[in-house]
Amino acid sequence: MAIDLERRPTKKHAVVIGAGFGGLACAKKLRKLDSYSVTLIDRNPYQLFSPLLYQVATASLPEDDIAFPVRTAYQDVQFVRAEVTNIDATKKELILSNGKTISYDDLILAVGSEGTTFGIPGVAEHAFQMKSVSDAREIRHSLLSAYESVEDGLLPLESLNVVIVGGGPTGVELAGAVKELQHEIHREFEHIAPKATVTLLEAGPRLLPTFHPHSSKYTLKTLTKMGVHVQVDAAVVEATPRSLRLKDGREIVAGTRIWAAGVVAPPHWKFLGETDRGNRIKVNSHLQISDSIWIVGDVASSPDGDGRPLPMVAPVAIQQGKHVARQIQRRESSKPLEVFKYRDKGQMATIGRRKAVVEMRSWLRFQGSLAWLTWLALHLAYLSGGRNRTSIFADWIWNYLVWTPRRTIID
Amino acid sequence: MAIDLERRPTKKHAVVIGAGFGGLACAKKLRKLDSYSVTLIDRNPYQLFSPLLYQVATASLPEDDIAFPVRTAYQDVQFVRAEVTNIDATKKELILSNGKTISYDDLILAVGSEGTTFGIPGVAEHAFQMKSVSDAREIRHSLLSAYESVEDGLLPLESLNVVIVGGGPTGVELAGAVKELQHEIHREFEHIAPKATVTLLEAGPRLLPTFHPHSSKYTLKTLTKMGVHVQVDAAVVEATPRSLRLKDGREIVAGTRIWAAGVVAPPHWKFLGETDRGNRIKVNSHLQISDSIWIVGDVASSPDGDGRPLPMVAPVAIQQGKHVARQIQRRESSKPLEVFKYRDKGQMATIGRRKAVVEMRSWLRFQGSLAWLTWLALHLAYLSGGRNRTSIFADWIWNYLVWTPRRTIID
């Protein structure tokens, strides 16, 4: 092979903001383009595998298991740990919180979403969110330390109670896992633990509102059988330091109050253009807001065929991330851009050991053990990095087959 | 089998303070005595496997891996999470920090040791200890976040430097692991990382002073080859917010300063009786200070055959814990008490990948790959709990064979 002595033109620069599902999918594909160098920016040096965050919150998995280090993961992607404060679209420049600037040829915004309290008083102060590793850590601490404080007489019995707001997959998964955790803790705190309750509140008429009503019904029945108090049509109007108050006047007293009731895109990015009610930026059918700015994942408002916004879930983000990388490649080869089309592969939620609901096609729905095994397998498959996969697999073997004590570091 | 309808005499109560190697070994054996109920007290609900703490500090293992949950581990041992503040030997009662009391028939004190600064000015404020999970977490954070801060221009280059005080196994293992961590980080921070240094300071004339001089020499040579600056006869006289000052006037500037230079028993327990210079309580040849109070592990001053105090290491604590359980059993069977004799099985220290020193007998010493494999195997064997063993084994496979990125959660 002859050595190429021609002077190559300087590479173009693609900058991806956000190392979540969408951003990583895009960066991984973009780095294969010879004509581009790729920079990935995130405030954390890891990809958080948020679908398993609830297992960290309930002391089933150590937090390192669901954090995939991105810094050195891809040799041909430059990682920058930073917070982006502004975008100068004219100069094609990002401004970082440390004052530095980074210029780009293509910018991919994939910053994900954050929890929202819908402005309900007290929620921000008196309820835990479920979006970050430190959220999960705080929930775990609250759940576990309550037993010791109650036993020592420092807190009343009601502190063992847990209330979770939001009947989506996160709320359902958390409710089931917290109930199972409580069951295990009974062994040690026999005299106080049986009093502990879990309440799951959903403002709408049914759990898992985006699923088929049949799945909702199965989920309600299963959670109830496990001992979770499920209440639908239960809108929260206030959070206090010891309880949640409902619209109908009732008050649910609980030591741990978790808010899993909805997410919005970060309002910070609204300056980029027109947004919907959830702060999501409206994009064209190629996922662009300009020739050089692409929006991917939860932060993109990209209608499906029916004109409804796509759900804020990992599969949408991944497909969009890949789509954008492909479009940049097409544009470089002077091919016309393609319209983004979401291929819905279904949805699933786990409820507890050997209990889950899976919906793959409108005609392919199943529940129970098989659904649960499907859930396990697909989550393992979606994990980035063989290391985390092995580690979680080993932990699940212990949790589900060997039933060893939970990991219980409490500071 | 006929049901025994006789009224059993009330069981005696053995209380073990401290869920370390000694306390657990004792409790595990005591619970098999029909005539005793056993209570284990610790301020943390886990046994810390401290020989691997340095791997948590250097981002090789997640912290949960080296913490073995004791709360529900042994069904016939009652666990109490508490701090013991006092012992009333006349009433045979413990007083806990929450004001409660626990009465005992036999008390086993196995509270371990803590780091000491030897009163050297600034060390407590400006150097990390290496005794607890939170110590390791702070070191890890300091090591990893320094790179980002230096890259952002927030800290000077010298902040990447690490200085470790103490040439015992902990200091040696840390120095090697920190150097290997620095090498890996080079990949990402190419422009700043090569400037990072590791210095290991030992006040005495050689590393691993309790080992054979041949092992000390091998360790010095190996660490030096790896790029660690080793300085013997280097006594620290002061720690500052950015450096350590030596007796000969030199100053070692480093962003991370780790103190691994010696441990003493907690001074709190000196009220129990005569203690040695390291606050260790002097015990009789059965490890007692009275008929009903036994002292085990680092906190016991129990001379070996030559009249020298035994080393503060896990094997001593384990053998003493078992010995005490056996003596209580003998006393219950009206057999005479036995004198405790330490069976020295040798010592070992790892230096880096495929590098360690092992001393099994005075005539059986070896170094290098075989020593390292021996070290790996013995540490796995000593881990309580199959779960932690599997988990660490998997992590080591990834770390040593597959070389994947480190676990890098930085808050």
| B383 domain-assigned | no
Query: What's the confidence (pLDDT) of residue B405?
Result: 59
Identify the bridge partners of residue B352 per DSSP, sorted by sequence position.
Answer: B355
Q: Cα separations (Å) of A63 from A58, A133, A139, A399, B409? A: 11, 7, 12, 15, 8
The H or E element containing residue B162 is strand B162-165
**Domain span holding position A99:** 12-113+265-332
Let me know: does B76 contact B31? Beta carbons within 8 Å. yes
Partner residue facing B407 (CB), from A69, A153, A398: A69
| B137 domain-assigned | yes
Smallest CA-to-CA distance from B241 within B315, B180, B156 is with B156
| B309 domain-assigned | yes
Mean pLDDT, residues A344-358 taken together: 92
**Are residues A62 and B62, on separate chains, in Cβ contact within 8 Å?**
yes
Q: Which residues on chain B are in Cβ contact (under 8 Å) with A45?
A: 408, 410
Contacts of residue B395, defined as CB under 8 A and 6 or more positions apart, other chains included, come to A391, B60, B61, B62, B65
Mean pLDDT, residues A319-342 taken together: 96
Question: What's the CA gap between A301 and B99, in Å, rounded?
Answer: 58
pLDDT at residue A33 greater than cutoff 50: yes
pLDDT in tens, A52-100: 999 999 988 888 888 888 877 787 899 988 999 999 999 999 999 888 8
Confidence of residue A274 (pLDDT cuts 50, 70, 90): very high
**Are residues B63 and A409, on separate chains, in Cβ contact within 8 Å?**
yes
**Are residues B394 and A391, on separate chains, in Cβ contact within 8 Å?**
yes
Partner residue facing A69 (CB), from B75, B98, B406: B406
* Catalytic residue of the set B63, B148, B173, B359: B173
Please, where are the H alpha helices in B192-245? 213-226
Please, where are the H alpha helices in A47-108? 53-57
Question: What's the CA gap between B207 and A252, in Å, rounded?
Answer: 61
Smallest CA-to-CA distance from B137 within A80, A140, A411 is with A411
- Extract the tokens encoding B361: 């007998």
**How many structural domains comprise chain B?**
2
Q: Is the same domain home to A141 and A235?
A: yes
Domain boundary among A262, A292, A317: A262
Is B202 among the catalytic positions? no
Q: Is the same domain home to A196 and A226?
A: yes
Which CATH number do you get for residue A94? 3.50.50.60
Let me know: does B170 contact B115? Beta carbons within 8 Å. no
Q: Is the same domain home to A203 and A257?
A: yes
pLDDT in tens, B25-79: 999 999 999 999 999 999 998 899 999 999 999 988 888 888 888 877 787 899 9
Question: What's the CA gap between A388 and A398, in Å, rounded?
Answer: 15
Residue A135's closest chain B neighbor by CA? Answer: B411
**Are residues B187 and A45, on separate chains, in Cβ contact within 8 Å?**
no
| A176 domain-assigned | yes
The residue to which tokens 């219980």 are assigned: A408
| Shortest alpha-carbon distance between residue B164 and chain A (Å) | 26
Domain boundary among B261, B285, B301: B261
Chosen for mutation from A72, A100, A133, A138 (greatest number of chain B CBs closer than 10 Å) is A72
Residue A197 identity (one-letter amino acid): T
Please indicate, yes or no, whether the overall pTM of this predicted structure exceeds 0.80: yes
DSSP helix/strand/coil, B297: helix
Question: What's the CA gap between B303 and B247, in Å, rounded?
Answer: 33
Which CATH number do you get for residue A122? 3.50.50.100
The residue to which tokens 């005591």 are assigned: B30
Give me the phi and psi of B219, to 5 degrees please. Answer: -65, -45
Query: What's the confidence (pLDDT) of residue A325?
Result: 97
Smallest CA-to-CA distance from A240 within A143, A156, A360, A120 is with A120
Give me the phi and psi of A236, to 5 degrees please. Answer: -85, 135
Let me know: does B59 contact B140? Beta carbons within 8 Å. yes
- Give the A-side interface with B, CB within 8 Å: 44-46, 62-65, 67, 69, 71-73, 75, 79, 81-82, 98, 100, 133-134, 148, 152-154, 184, 187-188, 385-387, 390-391, 394-395, 397-398, 402, 404-411
Q: Is the same domain home to A319 and A250?
A: no
DSSP helix/strand/coil, B352: strand
Q: Is the same domain home to A59 and A165?
A: no
Let me know: does B128 contact B142? Beta carbons within 8 Å. yes
The H or E element containing residue B371 is helix B369-382
Give me the phi and psi of A397, to 5 degrees please. Answer: -55, -45
Question: What's the CA gap between A137 and A146, in Å, rounded?
Answer: 14
Pairing mode, if any, of strands B281-282 and B300-301?
parallel
To the nearest 10 degrees (0 to 180), the angle between helices A133-151 and A169-186 is 30
Question: What's the CA gap between B99 and A14, in Å, rounded?
Answer: 63
Residue A387's closest chain B neighbor by CA? Answer: B398
Residue B382 identity (one-letter amino acid): Y
- Residue A273 Rama label (left phi>0; alpha psi -120 to 50; beta): left
Chosen for mutation from B398, B407, B410, B411 (greatest number of chain A CBs closer than 10 Å) is B407
Question: What's the CA gap between A322 and A340, in Å, rounded?
Answer: 10
Q: Is the same domain home to A89 and A166?
A: no
Query: What's the confidence (pLDDT) of residue A299?
Result: 97
| B21 domain-assigned | yes
DSSP helix/strand/coil, B380: helix
| B404 domain-assigned | no
Structure-model confidence comparison of residues B65 and A1, the more confident one: B65
Identify the bridge partners of residue A246 per DSSP, sorted by sequence position.
Answer: A236
Confidence of residue A295 (pLDDT cuts 50, 70, 90): very high
pLDDT in tens, B186-208: 877 888 878 899 999 999 999 99
Question: What's the CA gap between B184 and A146, in Å, rounded?
Answer: 41
| A97 domain-assigned | yes
Question: Mean pLDDT of residues grouped by 10 in chain B (411 residues)?
Answer: 48 96 96 94 92 92 86 84 94 92 97 94 96 94 90 90 97 96 83 89 96 96 97 97 96 97 93 93 95 97 79 94 97 95 91 92 88 89 77 79 62 55
Let me know: does A36 contact A14? Beta carbons within 8 Å. yes
Q: Which residues on chain B are in Cβ contact (under 8 Å) with A67?
A: 407-409
Q: For chain B, report the end-to-end CA distance as a whole number of angstroms.
A: 60
Let me know: does B90 contact B110? Beta carbons within 8 Å. no
Contacts of residue A1, defined as CB under 8 A and 6 or more positions apart, other chains included, come to none
Residue A99's closest chain B neighbor by CA? Answer: B152
Q: Is the same domain home to B303 and B256?
A: no
The H or E element containing residue A170 is helix A169-186
* ipTM higher than the 0.90 cut: no
Average predicted confidence (pLDDT) for chain A: 90
Identify the bridge partners of residue B40 per DSSP, sorted by sequence position.
Answer: B16, B79
How many CB pairs lie under 8 A apart between chains A and B? 104
| A92 domain-assigned | yes
Q: Is the same domain home to B148 and B256?
A: yes
- Residue B209 Rama label (left phi>0; alpha psi -120 to 50; beta): alpha
pLDDT at residue A3 greater than cutoff 90: no
pLDDT in tens, A236-272: 999 999 999 999 999 999 999 999 998 999 999 999 9
Q: Is the same domain home to A155 and A204?
A: yes
Q: How many CB atoms lie under 10 A from the CB of residue A197?
A: 18
Query: What's the confidence (pLDDT) of residue A2?
Result: 40
Q: Is the same domain home to B326 and B201?
A: no
Query: What's the confidence (pLDDT) of residue B187?
Result: 75
Confidence of residue A1 (pLDDT cuts 50, 70, 90): very low
- Give the B-side interface with A, CB within 8 Å: 44-46, 62-65, 67, 69, 71-73, 75, 79, 81-82, 98, 100, 133-134, 148, 152-154, 184, 187-188, 385-387, 390-391, 394-395, 397-398, 402, 404-411
3-state secondary structure string, A109-122?
A: ECCCCEECCCCCCC
pLDDT at residue A398 greater than cutoff 60: yes
Q: Which residues on chain A are in Cβ contact (under 8 Å) with B102?
A: none
Domain boundary among B291, B308, B332: B332
Identify the bridge partners of residue A270 per DSSP, sorted by sequence position.
Answer: none
Partner residue facing A63 (CB), from B46, B73, B409: B409
- Residue A334 Rama label (left phi>0; alpha psi -120 to 50; beta): left
- Extract the tokens encoding A401: 């087959």
Q: Is the same domain home to A100 and A228?
A: no
| Shortest alpha-carbon distance between residue A407 and chain B (Å) | 6
Let me know: does B330 contact B337? Beta carbons within 8 Å. yes
Q: Is the same domain home to A228 and A281?
A: no
The 10 Å CB-count burial string (b at 16+, else e) for B295-334 is: bbbbbbbbeeeeeebbebbbbbbbbbbbbbbbbbbeeeee
